[in-house]
Amino acid sequence: MLNSGVWHRRILNVYWTLAGIILAGQILSVRLHLKLAHEFAVSDVSRTLIVICYVVVLCCLITGEVWLRAKLKYQQQAVVVCGFIVSYLLYFIAEPFVDGAQMSLMMPLMASLIYFNRRLLFVIGGLNSLIYAAIYFMLERGLLGKALLDFLLMEVIFGGFVVMGLGIIVRSRETSEYLEQLTQSEQGLLVDRAIADKLLKIDALTGLYNHKTFHEYLDTLLEQCETNGLRLQLALLDIDNFKQVNDTYGHWIGDIVLKEVAAKISEKISLNDFAARYGGEEFAIIFTDKSPAEAFTLVEELRLAIASMEHHYAGDKPITISIGLCSYYTRSGKELLFRKTDDALYLAKRSGKNQVIICEEKKPA
């Protein structure tokens, strides 16, 4: 049960509190010579029995405390048994002086409701009816002269409480099942929404982010560059002679090449970097919080890794990429960053391919 240890502690605290209240009430009654429903005149034997009851109550509560603090097994059963014994002892103590003391016998039933334990509710309800019947016919009817109607009324109350408690337990389980179904439904909606959101952001073929998401992310990072001085480099990558691959081996081989290149890009970049399929055979990488030299080292390693990949399905011919790399400077703007990076990529393609070209390091005036 959720937080069962907390509820064990709370229930035991209630027993301690009730025992303390009844003891304090009796001490106060003796001192002030008050009358509580009867003349407060008890024999020495009665006083001895009351003292014995209090000693047993104290021992029972201490046993419950030790059981909980030692974290022994069957703590729920220990708390219920302790409460059952304490409730009957408190009933014996209060019954000669307080009308309606039978209500203390309801405590174990209420504990079974706190635990939402149907079996415990039936067991406690049955024991209450049997033990109270024995007490009435053996003690109360002869010694206290209680009417049979009082006994029958208490038995009806015990039975009615069990029936109502059963309804509460059943209703709580129905509510729990409903909440569980509702939670599962909400989780399903969240998963569906997450999948839909991912499909909107991810390129279906390569698994990298798509063109739209790339620009959204870049706009956000450029704002950070302007306000917080974030360092940023943009790399544009293009697969060399990709049209020839498609024309020679077919578009499905071209798709395999795109997937393998994308996988190598994902493998090489760090968690702080962002890669996307920019369009066709072109990819884009945003490097954040890196120096230009670090960004160059990463793209150069990526270029060499892709060039060394084997492609048996494409005649074992190497697949290479050309890369343009450019750093962003504050107040230069997104358009200038793209133009310079694209010019560097174009120069890499025109001057032999399979190389990295860094754009001109020209800061805005």
Q: Determine the Cα–Cα distance for residues 110 and 255; give it in Å rounded to an integer.
A: 68
If you average pLDDT over every residue of the chain, what do you get? Answer: 83
At residue 189, the pLDDT reads: 76
pLDDT digits (tens, 9 = 90+) for 100-109: 667 778 888 8
Q: Given pLDDT bands bounded at 50, 70 and 90, which one contains residue 276?
A: very high
Nearest alpha carbon to residue 82 among 100, 98, 94, 66: 66
Strand pairing report for 321-327 and 232-239: antiparallel
Find the helix packing angle between 211-228 and 334-350, rounded to 10°: 120
pLDDT digits (tens, 9 = 90+) for 202-229: 898 999 999 999 999 999 999 999 988 8
Q: What percent of the chain has pLDDT over 70?
A: 87
Q: Given pLDDT bands bounded at 50, 70 and 90, which one contains residue 39?
A: very low
Annotated catalytic, 281?
yes
- Residue 76 tokens read as 């729920």
**Residue 37, SS3?**
coil
Locus of tokens 């060399």: 240
- Rounded to 5 degrees, φ, ψ at 320 are -120, 165
Q: Indicate whether 35 pLDDT > 50.
A: no
For residue 364, give every residue at least 6 positions away whose Cβ sits within 8 Å of its Cβ, in sequence order, or none: 329, 330, 331, 332, 336
Neighbours of 130 (CB within 10 A): 10
Domains in the chain (CATH in brackets) are: 4-181 (no CATH), 211-358 (3.30.70.270)
Locus of tokens 């073929």: 205
Q: Determine the Cα–Cα distance for residues 250 and 253; give it in Å rounded to an integer.
A: 6
Q: Given pLDDT bands bounded at 50, 70 and 90, which one contains residue 96?
A: low
Find the helix packing angle between 251-268 and 242-249, rounded to 10°: 140
- Residues 277/283, Cβ–Cβ less than 8 Å: yes
Q: Which amino acid is at 343?
A: D
Question: How much is the average pLDDT of 38-58?
Answer: 67
pLDDT digits (tens, 9 = 90+) for 230-247: 899 999 999 999 999 888
- Rounded to 5 degrees, φ, ψ at 114 are -60, -40
Q: Given pLDDT bands bounded at 50, 70 and 90, which one contains residue 36?
A: very low
Q: Indicate whether 163 pLDDT > 80.
A: yes
Q: Indicate whether 167 pLDDT > 70.
A: yes
At residue 1, the pLDDT reads: 46
Q: Given pLDDT bands bounded at 50, 70 and 90, which one contains residue 40?
A: very low
At residue 26, the pLDDT reads: 67
Q: Indicate whether 365 pLDDT > 50.
A: no
Selecting among 177, 267, 281, 310, the annotated active-site residue is 281
pTM for this structure? 0.51
- Start-to-end C-alpha separation, the chain: 69
CA angle (298, 209, 242) in 5-degree steps: 70
Handedness of CA 218, 221, 225, 229 (dihedral sign): negative
At residue 125, the pLDDT reads: 85
At residue 302, the pLDDT reads: 95
Question: How much is the average pLDDT of 38-55?
Answer: 64
